[in-house]
Amino acid sequence: MSRSLREVVFVDGVRTPFGKAGPKGMYAQTRADDLVVRCIRELMRRNPGLPPERVDEVAIAATTQIGDQGLTIGRTAALLAGLPTSVPGFAIDRMCAGAMTAVTTTASGIAFGAYDVAIAGGVEHMGHHPMGEGVDPNPRFVSEKIVDSSALVMGSTAENLHDRFPHLTKERADAFAVGSQDRYAAALAAGKIGPELVPVAVRSAEQGWGLATEDEPPRPGTTVEGLAGLKTPFRPHGHVTAGNAAGLNDGATGCLLAAEDVATELGLQIGMRLVGFGFAGVEPEVMGVGPVPSTLKALASTGLTIDDIGLFELNEAFAVQVLAFLDHFGIADDDPRVNMWGGAIAVGHPLASSGVRLMTQLSRQFAERPDVRYGLTAMCVGIGMGGTVIWENPAWEGEK
């Protein structure tokens, strides 16, 4: 029996405000799974044309799959959100690219015809579950020199990237970080940041109940001079600081994916169309360079070139890894196509959730940019990987 693949579309995406991890963060006494539930409920509320029973799968990513991020969180969050018991769900882990992989995995099922509609997203409560909690790396990784000992410390891998590409200086990283903060602040003031946010009820034993409506991590007014004197915790006299890297954060994301014909049938919006994707492995000790080969792979599989890409949403785990990507493809540090509304250095990076944040922003940017046909979301991934997803703008004026 022959099959033809179906077009897959990104319908809608939402996220919670991102918080600072730790006892003083706004989500310190909020459960991780409740953050995901808010995203699922909001997706259903915003898309009333979608009958809940038409959701065929819920895929939710978490890097640390224990505690309130465990118990097959895709299934449990679906039940807690009030979806019918007939809707299945599962958990997924590709570290920082968890939500991205939740999207590509369910999108592949839609293209194949196994699903019509799926919800994909991710969560990370780094205040409850610090990176590496409960992990027991096999000692052979180091004893047999399968990886360098620095490969398991993400900040050290960023320092290694500075070593490998010495022209990617701390000064360039700091300048890029300031640009991220400035672009986020400008987008926030212009109302670009906010429509995708889901308010979350939060509780504090000292202050009682409140409502999280804004991102907690941004540091408006950051200057290059202010970043220059920050400590370099991963290496004496190093390059990586709290100012040119994403922080430790809590938050969740969710998005709605569908076959294009089903979206049309149900009257759902079409935010963007999936073109292709690629994941690639690199040396774990320089994991930040991962988006370069994953992007080359995605471009090759789609027949596109980097010149076809009009908008880039790159995850800013560390400024140096974005700079490595930009340098490889001959893109200027301050290219206006890159992270138009700022990135993770400003807004935060709750690990497994971030991929859908990138996609949600790209989708909303597409709606404002009918001159752009293709956009790209990409990120580096711990243990030496990169992930890239290429999207097409349905509002592209060339189709009219």
List, by residue number, the catalytic residues: 96, 349, 380
Q: Which residues are CB-contacts of 138 (< 8 A; sequence separation ≥ 6)?
A: none
The dihedrals phi and psi of 102, each to the nearest 5 degrees, come to: -60, -40
What angle in degrees, to the nearest 10, is found between the helix axes of 319-328 and 291-302?
Answer: 40
> Which residue do the tokens 């919670």 mark?
16
Phi-psi region of 235 (alpha: psi -120 to 50; beta: other; left: phi over 0): beta
Report whether 160 contacts 99 (CB < 8 A): no
Residues forming a β-bridge with 11:
none
Report whether 108 contacts 3 (CB < 8 A): no
Report whether 234 contacts 318 (CB < 8 A): no
First and final C-alpha spacing in the chain: 36
